[in-house]
Amino acid sequence: MSVFVAGLSYKTAPVEVREQLAVLPSKVGCHACRLKVVGGLDEVVLLSTCNRVEIYGVAPEVNGNIKSIFQLLAKFPCDLRRHLYVHEGAAALQHLFTVASGLDSMVLGETEITGQVKDAYEKAQAARLTGGVLNRVFQKAFHAAKEIRTQSKIQRGATSVGSVAVELAEKIFRQDLSQQTTIILGAGQMGETVLRHLAKKGAKSILVSNRSFDRAEALARAFGGRAIRFDDRLAAMANADIVVASTGCPQVLLSRDEVEELLRRRRQRPLFLIDISVPRNIDPEAQNVAGAYLYNIDDLEAIVRQNVRLREQDLALCRAIIDRQSAALMNKLTGGKEKQHDLGLQTQPGWLPGRALALGGQSVLQ
């Protein structure tokens, strides 16, 4: 058998590609089942976030091309080969540990990804898609993530996409958010993260709009904000300075035409739009409207790079923890056998840990 991970992330694919593969949380179980059947997998966990879509699996052998497996997730036919990476054996374990610890995230050391990986694993486990191998692998990954959090300072500074979005708003308004009105579209985990950071920065006027008005009310109340009915969101935007879209809705909620109308009603007063949803909720063409300033999740990378420099000194410690924990797990999975053939955990000749396997090369996921 072979343990593997195959996927794409913000490092290999822009948001317009990632949104074609994004899976709604309510659909993860169904898609994972299809992947298991079509791919001939013994075990599988499907991870879908705003920055990555990855398949973790165990299989005796996977026939066919990895593109055909990923194509099941795509909303439209698209060529994914140049965006995909594949890791097997030791490299797959190290990749999962790195992802779960927030070390492969756009925001280095982010805390949300650990919860997202746990959620993906628990959904797969509840659907009986995991077994002895992935159960052990994911539990060890969470243990490594916890050790990294407690022994390093990798989480200094902005540690989530939501907190970086607030940093961007601060830059736009020169550190003062107390006089600005912000409306959040979406009352999920990401919206809550944005609200928490806005409150910490002294934001006074916060509006929350969500399809579930009860959820919007509960979230707004927790942070001293005000709930807006979803059908009234456009009217509220006419008086807002910042719009943050962070829903799980797979369609555009704010079109270019609507942005143009908003600017006319605002008498061309600038409107800052931050879309951290994948799929995107704000029409990308809105960036061409005079007076509208649109930033999507990929645009946050400049702020992220600044935060990375603050954390680089902790990376060596984090890597050492991952190397030690993944090596210990490999030893258990293979029974201490040097050649490690029973689980396919050997690396390819000349393989370096963390290196992606080219789709044209030899792989169980060819």
| Statement to judge: residues 88 and 174 lie in one domain | no
- Calculate mean pLDDT across residues 129-144: 96
The pLDDT mean for the chain works out to: 83
CATH at residue 245: 3.40.50.720
Token pair, residue 323, equals 């190397």
Number of domains in the chain: 2
- Going by pLDDT thresholds of 50, 70 and 90, the confidence category of residue 100 is very high
Residue 208 is predicted with a pLDDT of 94
Does the pLDDT at position 1 exceed 90? no
In a domain, 346, yes or no: no
In a domain, 71, yes or no: yes
Instruction: Read off the pLDDT of residues 17-27 as tens digits, 9 standing for 90 and up.
Output: 998 899 988 89
| Statement to judge: residues 126 and 89 lie in one domain | yes
| Statement to judge: residues 144 and 227 lie in one domain | no
| Statement to judge: residues 79 and 165 lie in one domain | no
| Statement to judge: residues 124 and 221 lie in one domain | no
Domain boundary among 302, 317, 344: 302
Instruction: Read off the pLDDT of residues 275-313 as tens digits, 9 standing for 90 and up.
Output: 989 999 999 999 999 999 999 988 877 777 666 666 666
Supply the residues annotated as catalytic: 50
pTM of the model: 0.72
Domain boundary among 111, 131, 151: 151
| Statement to judge: residues 58 and 83 lie in one domain | yes
Q: How would you write 96-150 as a 3-class SS string?
A: HHHHHCCCCCCCCCCCHHHHHHHHHHHHHHHCCCCCHHHHHHHHHHHHHHHHHHH
Instruction: Read off the pLDDT of residues 327-352 as tens digits, 9 standing for 90 and up.
Output: 889 888 887 654 443 343 333 333 22
In a domain, 337, yes or no: no
Tell me the residue range of the domain where 71 lies: 2-151
Judged by DSSP in three states, 13 sits in coil
In a domain, 329, yes or no: no
CATH at residue 20: 3.30.460.30
In a domain, 270, yes or no: yes
| Statement to judge: residues 175 and 96 lie in one domain | no
DSSP-derived pairing of the beta strands 226-229 and 181-185: unpaired
